[in-house]
Chain A
Amino acid sequence: MSTILDVKNLTLSFRTDEGLVKPVRDVSFSLERGKTLGIVGESGSGKSVSTKAVMQLLPGIASVDPASQINYTAKNGETFDIAKIRPGDPRMGKIRGGEIAMIFQEPMASFSPIYTIGNQIMEAIQLHRGLNKRQARELAIEMLDKVGITNPVARVDQFPHEMSGGMRQRAMIALALSSGPQLLIADEPTTALDVTIQAQVLRLMRDLQAELGMSMIFITHDLGVVAQVADDIAVMYKGEIVERGTVRDVINTPQEAYTKRLLNAVPRLDRVVPPKPLNNNRRLIDVRNMSVDFEVRKKKLFRTEVEKVRAVNNVTFDILKGETVGLVGESGSGKTTVGRAMLRAIDPSEGEVVFHRKKKGDIDLAHATEAELQEVRSKLNMAFPEGPVQLHSLGSDLLRRFRPEMSLVFQDPYSSLNPRMTVRDIIAEPLVASGLMNSREKIDERVREIAARCKIDLEHLRRFPHAFSGGQRQRICIARALVSKPKFVVCDECVSALDVSIQAEIVTLLKEIQAEMGVSFLFIAHDLAVVAQISHRVAVMYHGQFVEYGPTEKIFFNPQHPYTKALLSAVPHPDPDAQFNPIRFDGEMVYPIATRTPQGMSLRIPERGQAATDRPIELIEIDDGHFVACRLQDGPVSSESRVLEPA
């Protein structure tokens, strides 16, 4: 085995507003031919930057310490130090993209939108392999075929926007591999993908590596992913490598305190103990047959056609007081829309959202008439202005008054905080804007109280958002969401952008707050393990519909719907010995057929191609509180389809 890349004492410094920082300090690692090195670390640990130094892709504010060495052995056997090569050296042009290829996180951003996929792959091939146009095209098609893109002859002429995220990432891999690199650097290649797609891409990368015998550096924050693909692993923390070793050693018997902490913080679907379902019956919110349509305007030459796209289709569920309902599903499944529609950030097109209040007087937020709202107005003990109410502005005005009762925590803690306001003003905004509180002292008191509760340093209240890290910002967002003492909070992917250790802290914080304030959460996330940790009940969404809904334990440990099963099987566990056999779910939806039996319900999956019954898909309660979307059929179980066995 020969070493292909040997990085020694790599130190980088950046000139920033906060002074000179060293994002990478004294980092050494080496990579052997045909092996995969996983670099794991949280954001800001320097894992990405150190590999960018290998490619000489550092930003202008960076400088490489003279003691650093990046010894690279080229294909022709020559070994040289990349750290010493000046930018623009012809050797670098050959290496970059030719011998070392890179895959980035966001497949959309790494393709040029104005060229076809084929064009871009062919360009790389022509540049690095010196083939002519026709040969390059043939090779491009071959590469697309190799990465599992069906019908590559047609796909090669498609533009990036015509492909789905997973497809684009496959094409990206094809592009990276087309020049025949001996080293592939993959920087969080699956982070932006849904779990089912991630599983496919991971498997593909593993297979291709074995087939082509190349080396790979796999950068990720996800220990589950790294356990599935890497041979060796380097754990980075604050710019330094704290632990290095084989995957098995590091994950099974971590030596360093930080590695242990990291492993403990990772929520594990195979070990999670979900919260027990609440056994009260005090419902807070009832969602009945809610649908949300989006209008898509298609501009024709002389007229505009309005097409309706149903983002959420006939969703019915409820949330109890003090309960957390998890909402999972892949991107585009409509989970965010459900959350927003419940808050009336988007208006539902059909159905009802009923908010139960202590005194009798439920409010149908979707369809409150003037009379009902007048009634609400007297019941909500808020100071509404006296005098006649303008009819046309009535709805939105009363809604505004009702805002303090509910709130939203956003996914991105960077874009959801106004950069021009101090933390104090941001947190106080719901109190001030809704007119809930008027005296400055009272507002300050409440802000300090909730900030302390969310573990924000009170000294920080005078600061502006740019002073904070992602986790701290998310605490500010949570404080803002809770400052008006709402009864219902939608957490829309609120931990997805955070590092695992911070994720764990935020989840703990949310649980504590729920225990204290009795607030109900709708917890929207694509990370199943986090959802399992916090939710009393879980709903699985697919294409705008609920496919399965019930107590967390039942959904995760006894899933009934094929989609739920596929979703769960696609989650990689941080265990190198675990079997990773994701069920391939190709999007062709198969709904089980439910039959009433004397014992209860029996489910079976119809054979593919078998004529489906014309009965509508319904959510059918197959067990106590456990609903599955299926077609209900009365009659005997037909023999040619297999009976679904409880897992």
Chain B
Amino acid sequence: MTDMANMTPAEAKAAEKERQRLLKYYSASQWTLIWWRFKRHRAAMVASLLLGLMALAGIFAEFVAPYGPVTRDTSYIEGPPQIPRFCDDNGCSAVPFVHGTMTKRDPVTLRALSVPDPNVRHYLGLFVKGEEVKVLGFIPTNRHLVGLQDTDQKIHFWGTDDLGRDVFSRTVYATRTSLSIGVIGVLISFVLALVIGGIAGYFSGIIDNVIQRVTEVIRVVPIIPLYMGLAAAMPKEWSTTQVYFAMTLILGLFGWPTLARRIRSQLLSIRYEDYVVAARLAGAGAKRIIGQHMLPSFTSFIIVDLVISFPYMILSETALSFVGLGLRPPSVSWGVLLQQAQSVRAIEQTPWLFIPAVFVVVAVLAFTVIGDGLRDAADPYAEAK
């Protein structure tokens, strides 16, 4: 500060800026610090962006998907993906277009095939009119994010399945189902974990012992057969919504043990931290110590755990639906979509039915990377020393 006088204006400005930056750093709360450090984790930022896009697409599925999940296009059954293009043999255009389709027969198998008709162009448009839907369940609209300007024609970015349903639209709807099952499942198991782990960690002793043993019993039950049994026990006449809720409940009810243990051990480990003792000696009661001093100190870790347990939920749902025990058509989830792609025939003739698998992989990876980034960011003194 003493050499403030003989600094050039530019230097003084830089010094002032530095001072402001440090001031901001010093009065930054824990969460701000975590956010700052998280921002520096590039992979995690990319992952959050991807996941954000996915979540948005899922939330606004009605608007994003050009067609409904069960809308059939009988003129384009098992049709390959249509990739929008700007140029073809007939020249170029500023607006992307796809070729029309015509039906041909396979010369060997005599199977009907949809093939592009290079002489017909259908132009793409934004916010085109289409089916009447309700966005978020209550905003009626007939506009869709993308589609063909000619409302009589349909575009299938990722092709169609054996019933002529648009794979892209179905994937968008499935994203909503799969992500929401993950979210609700994680929330249920989180609440259970917080209560059970919290009780075990705070009271310790015999209560802790009993809870720990129960947790262990639940953890040793092989999870897939258990899910299968429970899923098989679901009455066939249940509606898809009922099955959906039953699924989330099952996933949630068996997801808590790991998290509960984590919360318990966190509570146990900080019970004798100096600052907790300090709070006790300051005259704080049990409620205040837990609420004001202990819980805030590990919320960041819990959030990391939550994020990391998402993929587990999503994979469980996908796996169950894949073997036909989870959600059932007509509801769509990633697992349900992949179930269609089980056969060798699908691999051979309609490989685009595997596109939902990419979503599963991306979502799971994204959650893991974000969890990683958060874990690094959540340790406030990781690099400070």
Name which of B139-147, B190-198, B269-277 contacts chain A.
B269-277
Tell me if A433 and B284 are in contact (CB < 8 A).
yes
Which of the residues A18, A422, A429 comes within 8 Å of B282, measured between beta carbons? A429
Docked CA distance A408–B282 (Å): 9
Given A418-B293, A433-B288 in contact, is the A17-B279 Cβ separation under 8 Å? no
For the complex, is B238 an interface residue (Cβ under 8 Å from A)? no
Q: Could you tell me the distance in whole angstroms from the C-beta of A294 to the nearest C-beta in chain B? A: 13
Docked CA distance A16–B278 (Å): 30
For the complex, is B33 an interface residue (Cβ under 8 Å from A)? yes
Name which of A460-468, A539-547, A624-632 contacts chain B.
A460-468
Name which of A90-98, A348-356, A397-405 contacts chain B.
A397-405
Docked CA distance A18–B383 (Å): 11
Name which of B20-28, B221-229, B337-345 contacts chain A.
B20-28
Q: Which residues of A contact B37 (CB under 8 A)?
A: 17
Besides A17-B383, A434-B284, 12 other A-B contacts (C-beta < 8 A) = A16-B383, A16-B384, A17-B33, A17-B384, A61-B383, A345-B280, A417-B275, A420-B30, A429-B278, A433-B288, A436-B283, A462-B27
Given A415-B275, A466-B33, A466-B380 in contact, is the A408-B26 Cβ separation under 8 Å? no
Tell me if A403 and B27 are in contact (CB < 8 A).
no
Using C-beta atoms within 8 Å of the partner chain, give the interface range for chain A: 35 or more
Give chain A's interface secondary structure class.
Answer: loop
| CB-contacts of A432-448 with B (<8 A) | 433-436
For the complex, is A410 an interface residue (Cβ under 8 Å from B)? yes
Tell me if B381 and A463 are in contact (CB < 8 A).
no
Q: Could you tell me the distance in whole angstroms from the C-beta of B175 to the nearest C-beta in chain A? A: 36
Tell me if A404 and B283 are in contact (CB < 8 A).
yes
Q: Which residues of A contact B30 (CB under 8 A)?
A: 419-420, 464
Q: Which residues of B contact A19 (CB under 8 A)?
A: 18, 21-22
Given A16-B384, A410-B274 in contact, is the A433-B27 Cβ separation under 8 Å? no
Tell me if B282 and A419 are in contact (CB < 8 A).
no
Q: Which residues of B contact A417 (CB under 8 A)?
A: 275
Q: Which residues of B contact A460 (CB under 8 A)?
A: 26
20 contacts between A and B (CB under 8 A): A17-B33, A17-B37, A17-B384, A19-B22, A403-B283, A408-B277, A415-B274, A416-B275, A418-B275, A418-B296, A418-B297, A419-B381, A433-B282, A435-B283, A436-B283, A462-B27, A463-B26, A466-B26, A466-B380, A466-B381
Q: Could you tell me the distance in whole angstroms from the C-beta of B271 to the nearest C-beta in chain A? A: 13
Given A419-B297, A464-B30 in contact, is the A408-B278 Cβ separation under 8 Å? yes
For the complex, is B206 an interface residue (Cβ under 8 Å from A)? no
Q: Which residues of A contact B273 (CB under 8 A)?
A: 415
Q: Which residues of B contact A400 (CB under 8 A)?
A: 283-285
Tell me if A464 and B282 are in contact (CB < 8 A).
no
For the complex, is B29 an interface residue (Cβ under 8 Å from A)? yes
For the complex, is A550 an interface residue (Cβ under 8 Å from B)? no
A-B CB contacts (within 8 Å), total count: 94
Interface string of B251-280 (1 = CB under 8 A from A): 000000000000000000000011101111
Tell me if B281 and A420 are in contact (CB < 8 A).
no
Docked CA distance A404–B30 (Å): 29
Docked CA distance A430–B293 (Å): 13
Docked CA distance A422–B32 (Å): 13
User: A459 — nearest CB in chain B belongs to which residue?
Assistant: B23
Interface string of B1-45 (1 = CB under 8 A from A): 000000000000000001001100111111001001100000000
Docked CA distance A303–B248 (Å): 42
For the complex, is A412 an interface residue (Cβ under 8 Å from B)? yes
Tell me if A345 and B281 are in contact (CB < 8 A).
yes
For the complex, is A480 an interface residue (Cβ under 8 Å from B)? yes
Tell me if A433 and B279 are in contact (CB < 8 A).
yes
A residues contacting B by CB (< 8 A) are 16-19, 61, 343, 345, 400-401, 403-404, 407-408, 410, 412, 415-420, 422, 429-430, 433-436, 460, 462-464, 466-467, 480
Which of the residues A16, A418, A420, A433 comes within 8 Å of B283, measured between beta carbons? A433
Q: Could you tell me the distance in whole angstroms from the C-beta of B104 to the nearest C-beta in chain A? A: 61
Docked CA distance A429–B297 (Å): 16
User: B297 — nearest CB in chain A belongs to which residue?
Assistant: A420
Q: Could you tell me the distance in whole angstroms from the C-beta of A329 to the nearest C-beta in chain B? A: 21
Docked CA distance A463–B30 (Å): 11
Give chain B's interface secondary structure class.
Answer: helix
Docked CA distance A407–B280 (Å): 10
Interface string of B196-239 (1 = CB under 8 A from A): 00000000000000000000000000000000000000000000
Tell me if A401 and B283 are in contact (CB < 8 A).
yes
Q: Could you tell me the distance in whole angstroms from the C-beta of B53 to the nearest C-beta in chain A? A: 30
Q: Which residues of B contact A404 (CB under 8 A)?
A: 283
| CB-contacts of B295-336 with A (<8 A) | 296-297
Q: Could you tell me the distance in whole angstroms from the C-beta of A106 to the nearest C-beta in chain B? A: 14
Interface string of B41-70 (1 = CB under 8 A from A): 000000000000000000000000000000
Docked CA distance A152–B22 (Å): 55
Q: Which residues of A contact B29 (CB under 8 A)?
A: 420, 464
Given A419-B30, A464-B26, A467-B26 in contact, is the A343-B384 Cβ separation under 8 Å? no
Q: Could you tell me the distance in whole angstroms from the C-beta of B289 to the nearest C-beta in chain A? A: 9
Docked CA distance A400–B289 (Å): 13
Docked CA distance A131–B279 (Å): 57
Q: Could you tell me the distance in whole angstroms from the C-beta of B27 to the nearest C-beta in chain A? A: 5
Given A17-B25, A467-B27 in contact, is the A403-B282 Cβ separation under 8 Å? yes
Q: Which residues of B contact A433 (CB under 8 A)?
A: 279, 282-285, 288
Tell me if B380 and A418 are in contact (CB < 8 A).
no
User: B274 — nearest CB in chain A belongs to which residue?
Assistant: A416
Tell me if A466 and B384 are in contact (CB < 8 A).
yes
Tell me if A345 and B275 are in contact (CB < 8 A).
no
Q: Which residues of A contact B293 (CB under 8 A)?
A: 418
User: A417 — nearest CB in chain B belongs to which residue?
Assistant: B275
Docked CA distance A403–B277 (Å): 12
Name the 7 nearest CB pairs between A and B, nearest first. A434-B283, A467-B26, A403-B283, A433-B284, A416-B274, A430-B282, A415-B274
Docked CA distance A412–B28 (Å): 23
User: A406 — nearest CB in chain B belongs to which residue?
Assistant: B281
Docked CA distance A499–B281 (Å): 27
Docked CA distance A569–B18 (Å): 50
Given A19-B18, A462-B27, A463-B27 in contact, is the A403-B281 Cβ separation under 8 Å? yes
Q: Which residues of A contact B277 (CB under 8 A)?
A: 345, 408, 410, 416
Tell me if A430 and B27 are in contact (CB < 8 A).
no
Given A16-B383, A17-B25, A464-B29 in contact, is the A429-B274 Cβ separation under 8 Å? no
Q: Which residues of A contact B25 (CB under 8 A)?
A: 17-18, 467
Which of the residues A401, A416, A436 comes within 8 Å of B278, measured between beta carbons? A416
Q: Which residues of B contact A467 (CB under 8 A)?
A: 25-27
Docked CA distance A464–B380 (Å): 12
User: A409 — nearest CB in chain B belongs to which residue?
Assistant: B278
Given A18-B22, A416-B274, A416-B275 in contact, is the A434-B282 Cβ separation under 8 Å? yes
Q: Which residues of B contact A435 (CB under 8 A)?
A: 283
User: A403 — nearest CB in chain B belongs to which residue?
Assistant: B283
Q: Could you tell me the distance in whole angstroms from the C-beta of B33 to the nearest C-beta in chain A? A: 7
Q: Which residues of A contact B283 (CB under 8 A)?
A: 400-401, 403-404, 430, 433-436
Q: Could you tell me the distance in whole angstroms from the C-beta of A569 to the nearest C-beta in chain B? A: 33
Q: Could you tell me the distance in whole angstroms from the C-beta of B383 to the nearest C-beta in chain A? A: 6
